[in-house]
Structure 1
Amino acid sequence: MTAKVVQLTPLEFEPRAALPTPEAAAHLNRAQQTLRLWACLENGPIRPIRVNGRLAWRVADIKALLGVQ
């Protein structure tokens, strides 16, 4: 089984306000399931927003967590 490669835009140039879980996980160097656990248990360093039942992770929160300007 091969892993899907996610093409990442550097956070400094990211035009979107929120990212889907696979992209957010790649930026944070965490497994997607880790982010889903953060959302479910509400105990992670950042919290997602839900859009039509799907998780979206704010780019501003990811930048703040990583210390990116």
Structure 2
Amino acid sequence: MDTASAHHSAATYRVVTRRAVTTPKTFPPLEQVSLQTVPTEQAAYYLNRRPQTLRHWAMRDGTGPLRPVRIHGRLAWPVAAIRKLLEVPA
């Protein structure tokens, strides 16, 4: 068997795996949010950052432009602070 046919044969039996594609969540425009705080994923969406970046800000006090509050051990991000940072009217 020559090299080309050996390569073709190996490629035929290769299993292709892909990560599951998830659809991104959609959130209402920041101007329409009436809550005082939003969860990390939603805050990250408005700030155009990954949720892990916000968690890093929370873990290392003072490294990020926002400080979360903790509600029953969960991070909550003040909407007023997000609006101020992004210069969005209330």
TM-score (norm 1): 0.93
Match of 2:8 in 1: none
> 2 CA distance for matches of 1:50 and 1:4?
28
Match of 1:54 in 2: 74
Structure with higher RCO (Cα < 8 A, 6+ apart): 1
Q: Render the CA deviation track for 1:11-52: whole Å, top value 9, x for unaligned.
A: 111011100000000110001000000000011100000000
From the CA coordinates, give the structure whose radius of gyration is larger: 2
- Structure 1 stretches of 4+ moved >3 Å: none
Q: Please list every run of 5 or more consecutive structure 2 residues that lacks an aligned counterpart in the other structure.
A: 1-19
In structure 1, what residue type is equivalent to 2:25?
Answer: V
> 2 CA distance for matches of 1:15 and 1:59?
8
TM-score (norm 2): 0.72
Higher-strand-fraction structure: 1
- Output the aligned Cα RMSD: 1.0
